[in-house]
């Protein structure tokens, strides 16, 4: 499974980096894997964040669903926009 990924750069005091390297070495894993483990343990009990859609977006979405019956199938998008 390919999961989208991102990179995060953080600056740490040297002493903290040494602690992290020491713990990672204890488990024989790279420091990045150990940091991922720490983060996962911190967020494991959280639900995936959900956000309420704005009233304007909800109104627009409802209108689009109502207008769906008026939709036209376009086989050649470039030609369609040329004819507008």
Task: Quote the CA–CA distance of 72 and 81 in Å, as a whole number.
Answer: 13
Cβ-contact 24, 34 below 8 angstroms: yes
Cβ-contact 24, 30 below 8 angstroms: yes
Note down pLDDT in tens along the chain; length 84 residues: 688 899 999 999 999 999 999 999 999 999 999 999 999 999 998 888 888 899 999 999 999 999 988 888 888 889 888 888
pTM of the predicted model as reported, rounded to 2 decimal places: 0.52
């Amino acid at each position: 499974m390919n999961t989208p990924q991102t990179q995060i750069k953080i600056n740490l005091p040297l002493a903290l980096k040494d602690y992290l390297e020491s713990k990672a070495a204890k488990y024989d894993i790279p420091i990045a894997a150990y940091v991922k483990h720490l983060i996962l343990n911190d967020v494991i009990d959280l639900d995936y964040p959900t956000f309420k859609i704005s009233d304007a977006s909800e109104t627009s979405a409802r209108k689009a669903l109502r207008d769906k019956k008026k939709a036209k199938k376009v086989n050649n998008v470039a030609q369609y926009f040329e004819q507008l």
